[in-house]
């Protein structure tokens, strides 16, 4: 019904230039005037180079008056040659006329050429640059996070990751909405246009080498299929999935999700709590916002803490992660910390 997600033939095996438009690598933005100035300076450099070459071999050149070429003559010759003007019935013969031709006429010709072919050259150059960036990115991307869906949940998840110190270059967004992808690209994120339910599209994100996958789709059935496909391509990545209905939790977990967030029930609980104890909701929002106030963090148990109780530490410990399972503080198993345990604790935002 959903197609064969195991077939490696397709987008992932396409040449890099064929992926331009589907896979987009963000580039540093610069002023168009800066780009125009660079092109003009490059054209002037070429002009002086050509004039120097002509001047060095000036004994092989003669003008229509029979005089030996000066450097001004060499500049004139280079100018009419590089601008594709050539020789005509009317040619300036006095130094002042040739100087005017160099200073005034040639810049006008260059500007005309820029206006005429600049757009085409710009498009071709950008496509070539993108193809090169795609090739380099596909060979170097490792241990990144793939975010499926750049709606409200996806953007908020990325904001939380960035607040925890994740670099934008380590996040890849995949979506089918071009408007959402434009917003993601404007934010400096690598984007892939396509449905993450298809294995070829996920391969373009480098999901095989990703350390984490965040599934923030708008439909639970889509989330299940994306999770199943991502887990088939990567057996070790941490997959976190947001769904709307709690009844679909077991389906998502069976598909390979490590963490499942039921968005509708979570929002409902917070709304219910807010009617009686709104400050609790405020504190929850504080803990979920890493940029300010307090935040929930995880760290390794230090050697000097092994054998002790987490309740005796200076940190406010909420739980112990042992062999991938969460043990809440207060349970008997958490009273004696073991080597390799991780602590979930509350830290002040901005501190590590």
Q: Which pLDDT value is given to residue 4?
A: 43
Give the predicted TM-score (pTM) of the model: 0.61
The partner residues of 78 in beta bridges, in order of sequence, read none
| Residue 85 banded pLDDT, cuts 50, 70, 90 | low
Cα distance between the two ends of the chain = 47
CB 157 within 8 A of CB 289: no
Most confident of 24-28, 70-74, 214-218: 214-218
CA distance 236 to 271: 35
The whole-number average pLDDT for the span 292-303 is 82
- Other C-beta atoms closer than 10 Å to the C-beta of 247 total 10
Q: Which pLDDT value is given to residue 209?
A: 93
Is the pLDDT assigned to residue 26 strictly greater than 90? Answer: no
| Residue 106 banded pLDDT, cuts 50, 70, 90 | low
Is the pLDDT assigned to residue 98 strictly greater than 70? Answer: no
71-105 burial code (b ≥16 CB/10 A, e <16): eebbbbbbbbebbeeeeeeeeeeeeeebeebbeeb
Q: Which pLDDT value is given to residue 326?
A: 86
Q: Which pLDDT value is given to residue 227?
A: 96
| φ and ψ of 120, to 5 deg | -65, -45
CA distance 12 to 116: 37
Radius of gyration of the chain (CA): 31
For 14, 141, 197, 270, the CA distances from 193, given in Å and listed in that order, are: 15, 18, 12, 34
> Which residue from 297, 308, 278 is spatially nearest to 349, judged by alpha carbons?
297
Mark out the alpha helices in the chain (DSSP H runs).
32-56, 71-82, 95-100, 106-140, 152-163, 178-186, 199-204, 220-233, 249-255, 263-276, 278-287
| Residue 316 banded pLDDT, cuts 50, 70, 90 | confident
For 11, 24, 47, 107, 271, the CA distances from 18, given in Å and listed in that order, are: 9, 12, 36, 37, 48
């Amino acid at each position: 019904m959903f197609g064969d997600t195991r077939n490696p033939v397709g987008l992932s095996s396409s040449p890099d230039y064929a992926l331009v438009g589907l896979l987009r690598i963000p580039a540093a933005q610069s002023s168009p005037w800066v780009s125009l100035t660079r092109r003009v300076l490059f054209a002037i450099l070429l002009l002086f180079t050509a004039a120097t070459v002509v001047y060095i071999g000036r004994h092989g050149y003669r003008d229509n008056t029979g005089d030996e070429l000066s450097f001004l003559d060499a500049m004139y010759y280079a100018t009419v040659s590089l601008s594709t003007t050539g020789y005509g019935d009317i040619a300036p013969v006095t130094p002042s006329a040739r100087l005017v031709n160099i200073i005034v006429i040639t810049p006008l010709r260059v500007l005309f050429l820029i206006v005429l072919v600049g757009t085409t050259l710009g498009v071709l150059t950008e496509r070539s640059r993108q193809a090169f960036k795609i090739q380099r990115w596909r060979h170097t991307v490792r241990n990144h996070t793939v975010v499926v869906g750049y709606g409200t949940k996806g953007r908020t998840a990325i904001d939380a990751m960035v607040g925890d110190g994740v670099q934008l270059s380590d996040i890849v967004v995949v979506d089918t909405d071009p408007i959402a992808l434009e917003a993601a690209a404007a934010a400096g994120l690598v984007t892939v246009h396509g449905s993450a339910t298809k294995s070829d599209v996920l391969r373009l994100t480098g999901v095989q080498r990703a350390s984490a996958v965040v599934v923030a789709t708008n439909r639970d059935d889509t989330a299940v299929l994306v999770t199943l496909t991502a887990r088939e391509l990567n057996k070790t990545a941490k997959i976190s999935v947001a769904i709307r209905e709690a009844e679909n939790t077991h389906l998502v977990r069976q598909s390979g999700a490590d963490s499942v967030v039921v968005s509708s029930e979570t929002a409902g609980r917070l709304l219910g709590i807010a009617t009686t104890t709104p400050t609790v909701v405020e504190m929850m929002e504080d803990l979920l916002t890493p940029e300010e106030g307090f935040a929930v963090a995880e760290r390794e148990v230090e050697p000097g803490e092994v054998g002790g109780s987490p309740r005796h530490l200076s940190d406010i410990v909420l739980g112990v992660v042992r062999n991938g399972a969460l043990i809440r503080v207060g349970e008997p198993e958490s009273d004696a910390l073991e080597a390799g345990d991780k602590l979930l604790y509350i830290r002040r935002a901005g501190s590590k």
